[in-house]
Structure 1
């Protein structure tokens, strides 16, 4: 629980940002899915933390956030709120996971992910 499993870079031009990171750092960028470009940062035996580049929403148009895997997203949201966090996006359901976005008491954004 609490393992960092990914990152998200938010841009208003995710296609251009994806091309930049691919050229500069050699990241493998996959085809766009819902204004989101999945990214692999490692090669061969040198694994990296994978993530994606997305069209930043109005509440977070630019910037980066880590995604933290939790055992129970509802409990983690409740605990985060009890400790001063603010929920930016309530729990969303995807095919194989749940995702929510929060901001900690200092203003740092992060995502919570629970696998199904």
Structure 2
């Protein structure tokens, strides 16, 4: 079975997007290579993926929504909104997790998930 091993968040304001995710989630952002800023999302010994922020081309200016696992969804939502995010769908409860959908300051949609 295939596994997701990376991601690319496309926007037209790449530096703003990279700064947002660094502030909210503590991601390390690499120096740009062309118009791609690689990000390290955490310790490689733990589960998870790395990826990057990129300037989307004119025919695909914005990226794909992803789910980001957090320890406390309430704290993460608070941090995100304080840094310019807008809540699309507030915290929802499911049997095994909580989930919320937001849009960052550049218009990228993303989800946050907290396992129970």
Q: What TM-score comes out, normalization by structure 1 length?
A: 0.51
Question: In the aligned structure 1, how far is the partner of 2:53 from the partner of 2:13?
Answer: 9
Aligned residues, how many? 66
Q: What TM-score comes out, normalization by structure 2 length?
A: 0.51
Contact 1:8–1:65, Cα closer than 8 Å, also in 2: no
Instruction: Provide structure 2 residue ranges, at least 5 long, that are not aligned to the other structure.
Output: 67-116
Report how far residue 47 of structure 1 moved: 4.0
- Describe how 1:1-116 pairs up with structure 2 within 5 A: 2-43=2-43, 45-64=45-64
Question: In the aligned structure 2, how far is the partner of 1:38 from the partner of 1:45?
Answer: 18
Question: In the aligned structure 2, how far is the partner of 1:36 from the partner of 1:44?
Answer: 21
Report how far residue 42 of structure 1 moved: 1.3
Report how far residue 34 of structure 1 moved: 1.0
Richer in strand (by share): 1
* Structure 1 vs Structure 2 CA RMSD: 2.0
Instruction: Provide structure 1 residue ranges, at least 5 long, that are not aligned to the other structure.
Output: 67-116
